[in-house]
Amino acid sequence: MRNMGIMKKKEEKNSVKIKRGLELKIVTILTLVMIFFGGVTVELLYKYTTRYEVKKGEAQLETLVKVKGGMLNVYFQQMRATLNKLTRDVHLVDLVGKNSRKDYKQALYHFDLMNVRGMFLSIYALNKKGEVVISLDKRFEGKNYGFRDYFKEAMGGNEYLDVAVGVTSGQLGYYLSTPLRDDKGEIVGVVVGKLNPKFVKDMLMRKTKIDGVKELLVDRDGVVVESNDEGLFLHTLADISESEKKWLVEKKFPNVDLIPSGYASLAIALRNGVTAGYFRDHLSKGWYYRVVGLPGTGMHLVMMKNEAGILREAATNSKIVFWVVAIAVLATDLIVGLWLLKYMNQVDKLAVAAKRISEGKFDNDLSWESNDQLGELVEALREMQYRLKRWHQEMVKEVKNKTEKLKLQMKKLEEAKLDLEKFKLAVDNVGDHIVITDSEGIVLYANKAVEKITGFSPEEVVGKKVGTKELWGGLMGLKFYQKLWQTIKIDKKMFVGELTNRRRNGQKYIAAASIAPVLNKRGEIIYFVGVERDVTKAKEIDQMKTDFISLASHQLRTPLSAMRWFLEMLLSGDMGKLTKQQREVIKDIEESNDRMIELVNALLNISRIESGRIIVEPQWVNLKELVEGVVKDLEEYIKKKKQTVVVSVHPNLPKIRLDPKLVRQVYLNLISNAVKYTPEGGEINIFVSKKDKEVISQISDTGYGIPKEEQERIFERFFRASNVVKKEVGGTGLGLYLAKAVVKSSGGRIWFKSQEGKGTSFWFTLPLKGMKKKKGEVRLT
Amino acid sequence: MKKTVLVVEDEGLLLKAIEQKLMNEGWEVVGARKGDQALDYLNNMEELPSIIWLDYYLPDMTGLDFVVKLKKRPRLAKIPIMVVSNSASEEKVKSMLALGVKEYLLKAEYRLSELIKIMEKLIVEKKL
């Protein structure tokens, strides 16, 4: 049992192979779908975030530029207001306009006052010639700054701010200038405040280190004068020519190497008064920017933010989303994968079971439950297995049954085949000539005897038409063949007859032929089967027999006749008178002689009937007359035995066509037997009646009867019952044989009932339609 | 009236019996044992027999040949013939009766006295 189990398992493994990979497919598809949608989400999010970050950045720039621009404006206005206060100082006006030295001290005092907070690096005033008359920084006094724009502009009546690198200090400074007017409103000089760039720097730097915002303070000549990016300090925004550069250096930025910043696009925007936008620098870096002009200073404040920074921020956000999505994908795959593995395990079990069922193994464990579609499938499979198992069992039974039957049929068929072979062998080798033809008489088969008899080989015969001179036939004349074809082809009956044929070597022979049509179910002729026998020799023998019988009869009858006639003469006294004793002896001799004659006649009759040479010549016969005639012939004999014979014939018995000689013989034999084998004084009854299509004749006697044990043999040739042999010397044992032969050949029956010592009844029938005419050679005697 | 009969019978014993019986009955009998002999007699007889008793099988010819020859001669053709033979096939009987033979009888079936009666009947019939 255990071994079997192992073997079974092994077999299972070998026979049931389940393809895997559905899990992988599902997980792959799921992953791909999730990656796709995740990707789209990340992408969309990234775009959205980018846009959001850009807007946020721009808003930030906007705010910064407004706030800081505002602060700078306030700062510069305050500074200007401070300077304007100084211009109203009469001491200063007089000092500058009238060169009144006495006012110097007072004016300087006011200068100090105004710069309490140290907002200015220096405050100084220039006369019309551009000479510094008074200055907080003593180094400036006596120097001429008439070449400076701030002096020229202020002398023109304008307030002005100039950014330049100081000739003396070598430091960058904001030079705020305003015209100094006397009481008549005449410009007498210019007051200049050199602002401390630290304050501007502080203002700009405040809160702008974050977020990668770059701020630039650009003067009217496009030079970055302040920036939180040290690298941009004193760079030109635009790319400028050498002459421009030289001019700028001479005028405002002595000893400074003005390098272009690479922000040419921004310079163009500033020139055109654009306040917000986006540009690419010389390194193709993208920048968002906001610009605000600082009124009265000729300067612009620029806030700009690097696009990459914005994008980086957006990317950072998107990255988080990407990782969330990726983790979600992996987690989903893991969960789905594990779940699928568990489920597929069940599916595999189902698949294995299904495969095994398909291989005719119905012992699969399908007992597990699952309350989902899989459960339904398990249940369905379980049901299927159960039904298939039953069906299979029934089928196996059925197949077994059918196979048995088939075997039996095969056996029968085999037997039939053997029979057929035997049959064919028999047909092939039988002595009679057998030919099978198609419905047109073309030979399909000929057995060996055909060659033996006709000399034609089967090969010569097959395919040729029978009954023609091409083969052995054609000698009988048209009429004969017409009759033959009529019988077998139109009447579809068997033809029996004798015909003369010719062998291949020309020798003629007589054939007894029977030719029968073979019909199919529809009654159509499919074959003819002809059986012929060469009766030439038999005919010869028959002739010899006939000759012998006639010779024998002649030869036997002659001496018998002689004896008869001499005895007759003796008894009639022709040879003289006989004594009583002599007479009795001669009578006995005559009786013996008569019996011999009778025997010879009977023998002749039998040989005639048996050889079929007897003539049947039917006439209209009145049976009553015939029977009465027979009785009359026997009258003397009956009288001698003192018997009573009663003849009763059916009153309406019609005349029948019978051969009277033959029928007479039957009655004669039966009635004479009755007389002979009935003791003296007995009674004999003869009834002739009609029943259905027959005439029934009955001959009953009250005689000795036939011993029961001998009744079987009573119709045999030469048989005489043991109980009568002793009583009646006469009798050939041929009478009943002859009677039976005649009755049978006429289509009737003959039978009897007998009880020993009580009597015998014979019956025989003759058909009402009578006997058939038959040509022959001899009659009965 | 004198009754004359020509008996043609090749079997001597039978001929002897027939002659004796007929003479006993008062017949004038001429016996012949061969066909030719019988024909000779007939040719040379001044008075023809009243009847011919003929056997079928003769040493030199059959009864049929004999009758055929006889019938060829008008003088003899009218003599009634009674064939008494032990051979009585249908063929023989028919052909003989066709040639004008009055009776064809089976030798063994008849007594001599019966045959004589038949001859007498035939002679009377001829005269009628």
Amino acid identity of residue A310, one-letter, is I
In a domain, A160, yes or no: yes
Kindly state whether B26 is in contact with chain A, defined as any CB-CB distance less than 8 angstroms: no
Per-residue pLDDT at A210: 59
- Supply the pTM of this predicted model: 0.42
Place of tokens 């119905």: A362
Identify whether residues A525 and A626 lie together within a single domain.
Answer: no
Question: Above 70 in pLDDT, residue A206?
Answer: no
- The neighbour count for residue A719, using CB atoms within 10 Å, is 15
Residue with the larger pLDDT of the pair A579 and A228: A579
Distance of CA A184 to the CA centre of its chain: 122
Position A635 confidence tier, pLDDT thresholds 50, 70, 90: very high
pLDDT exceeds 80 at position A207: no
Q: Are residues A655 and A745 in the same domain?
A: yes
pLDDT digits (tens, 9 = 90+) for A503-560: 888 888 888 888 888 888 888 888 889 888 888 888 888 778 767 776 776 678 888 8
Which of A510, A534, A558 terminates a domain? The answer is A534
Do A527 and A652 fall within a single domain? Answer: no
What confidence score (pLDDT) does residue A338 get?
86
Which chain A residues contact residue B114 at CB under 8 A? none
Asked if A778 and B90 come within 8 Å (Cβ–Cβ), the reply is yes
* Range in A55-64, A342-351, A673-682 with the lowest mean pLDDT: A342-351
Q: Looking at CA atoms only, how far is residue A468 from chain B in angstroms? A: 34
Lowest-pLDDT choice from A367-376, A429-438, B11-20, B56-65: A367-376
- Domain contains A362: no
* A553 to chain B, closest Cα gap in Å: 7
Domains in chain A: how many in total? Answer: 3
* A443, burial (CB in 10 Å: exposed 0-12, middle 13-18, buried 19+): buried
B89 CB neighbours in chain A (<8 A) are 550, 777-778
Inter-residue contact A754 to A705 (CB < 8 Å): yes
Same domain as A744, residue A646: yes
Which residues in chain A have Cβ-Cβ distances shorter than 8 Å to B24? 569, 574
Residue A667 lies in a domain: yes
Please report residues of A whose CB lies closer than 8 A to that of B97.
Answer: none
Q: Please give the helix or strand (H or E) that residue A373 lies within, else none.
A: helix A373-429
CA nearest neighbour of A162 among A75, A247, A252, A72: A252
**Which pLDDT band, with edges at 50, 70 and 90, does A753 fall under?**
very high
- Per the prediction, chain A carries an average pLDDT of 85
Contact B90 A566 (CB under 8 A): no
| Residue B8 contacts A where some CB pair is shorter than 8 Å | no
In angstroms, rounded to a whole number, what is the distance separating the alpha carbons of residues A707 and A476? 54
Q: Which residues of A touch B (CB under 8 A)?
A: 550, 553-554, 557-562, 564-566, 568-569, 572, 574, 597, 600-601, 615, 776-779, 781
Q: Which residue of chain A is at minimal alpha-carbon distance from B112?
A: A565
Residue A522 structure tokens: 């529809």
User: Which neighbouring-strand residues pair with A579?
Assistant: none
User: Which range has highest mean pLDDT (A450-459, A464-473, A662-671)?
Assistant: A662-671
**Which alpha helices (DSSP H) does A237-306 contain, by range?**
242-251, 264-271
In the block, tokens 């000549």 appear at A221
As a whole number, the mean pLDDT across chain B is 89
How distant is the Cα of B74 from the closest Cα of chain A, in angstroms? 32
A635 and A495 within one domain: no
**Nearby residues of B38 by Cβ (< 8 Å), 6 or more positions away:** B6, B8, B32, B52, B66
Write the CATH number for B31. 3.40.50.2300
Of A557, A574, A615, the CB nearest to B86: A557
A663 and A520, same domain (yes or no): no
Q: Which of A543, A554, A561 to probe by mutation at the B interface, max B CB count within 10 Å?
A: A561
Residue ranges of E strands in A281-396 = 286-294, 299-306
Domain that holds residue B22: 3-127
In a domain, A297, yes or no: no
Interval A107-132: pLDDT, tens: 889 888 888 888 888 899 999 999 99
A621 and A748 belong to one structural domain: yes
Q: Which chain B residues are closer than 8 Å to A597 by Cβ? A: 108-109
- 3-state SS of A143-212 is CECCCCHHHHHHHCCCCEEEEEECCCCCCEEEEEEEEEECCCCCEEEEEEEEECHHHHHHHHHCCCCHHH
Question: What CATH number has the domain bearing residue A754?
Answer: 3.30.565.10
pLDDT tens digits, A267-290:
888 888 888 889 988 888 889 999
CB contact (8 A) between residue B90 and residue A781: no
Whether residues B108 and A615 touch (CB distance < 8 A) is answered with: no
Most confident of A464-478, A695-709, A710-724: A695-709
Residue A115 lies in a domain: yes
Domain boundary among A180, A199, A218: A199
Distance from CA of A647 to the nearest CA of B (A): 27
- Give the pLDDT confidence score for residue A393 in this predicted structure: 87
Report if residue A325 sits inside a domain. no
Q: Which of A154, A176, A199 is the last residue of a domain?
A: A199
CATH of the domain at A174: 3.30.450.20
Instruction: Give the separation between CA A464 and CA A422, rounded to whole angstroms.
Output: 27
The parent domain of residue A173 ranges over 91-199
CA dihedral A400, A405, A408, A412 (to 10 degrees): -150
* C-alpha to C-alpha distance for B102 and B126, rounded to whole angstroms: 10
Residue A467: predicted pLDDT? 75
- pLDDT for the residue A674: 93
pLDDT band at A729 (very low <50, low <70, confident <90, very high): low
- The ipTM (two decimal places) reads 0.87
Query: What pLDDT does residue A7 have?
Result: 46
Examine the pLDDT at A707 and tell me if it is beyond 60: yes
Per-residue model confidence (pLDDT) at position A671: 95
Whole-number pLDDT of residue A778:
62
Our count of domains for chain B comes to: 1
